[in-house]
Amino acid sequence: MSRTRLAGRTVVVTGAAQGQGAAEVAAAAREGATVIATDVLDEAGEKLAAALRTDGLEVSYRRLDVSSPDDWAALADRLDVVHGLVNNAGIPVRARLGEVELADWERAFAVNTTGAMLGIQALAPLMPAGSSIVNVGSVAALTAHHAVAYTASKWALRGLSKVAALELAPRGIRTNLVHPGYIETPLMATANPVFVAAHLAMTPQGRAGSVEEVAPLVVYLLSDEASYVNGAEITVDGGYAAHGGVKAITNALDAPVADR
């Protein structure tokens, strides 16, 4: 049976053509929202929207480079009201501190941080009281992490989210942050297998997460069920961030004596 927690609402999702963004689009639409799926992957985005419309859902696709103020302004000009914004777009920049190029550093911030800021600036004026912004961070934003540009850009997104939670709350607009751990998405398809194995070894639940385990949380934060949740940071990571590195100790203690 269909549910309608987001009935009558318009929701914009960035980075929506595939992976986690696509799951968020589908989940919001199935809760009754009219969803504008945005991305720079036009073929995949159009295909997603068409497939969901075939299921009777209200989904359209629009090309949007989140780092472009002009693209955000053009999107805002086409909309009368927005009730939800999911800043999901993000890119991996995996170079280490001594190797990262300035252009890659700046691109990471342009998409992962500035894109969310531009989206808030463009769409918040269209948001009535009761609206919600969900920014998608990462467990890399909670500790030191090997991918320095990605890590720093996601830490900066935390600061942006806190400021938005403070400044927009008097208008009845909530801003919250979701921190996924290792989630099976196309973004992770190019990850170093050594990194994947190490990350999963440090995840107490011992497995990767799925996009279907993230999307329901995003829907909850968009809905009135989260009407007093503002400025929160919620992990979806199988316990990865909970142990602060202690998992390596428990792994060692649990190993057979002969292996120590």
Residue 114 per-residue DSSP state:
I
Active-site residue identified among 150, 182, 220, 240: 150
103-110 long-range CB contacts below 8 Å, 24 or more apart?
Answer: 104/149, 105/148, 105/149, 105/152, 108/149, 108/150, 108/152, 108/153, 109/149, 109/152, 109/153, 109/156, 110/67
Residue 242 DSSP code: G
The verdict on whether 182 is a catalytic residue reads no
How far is the C-alpha of 25 from the C-alpha of 202, rounded, in Å? 30
User: Which of 6, 18, 105 has the alpha carbon at shortest distance from 57?
Assistant: 6
DSSP structural state of residue 212: G
C-beta separation of 52 from 26 below 8 A:
yes
Largest CA distance in the chain: 67
Q: Which residues are catalytic?
A: 150
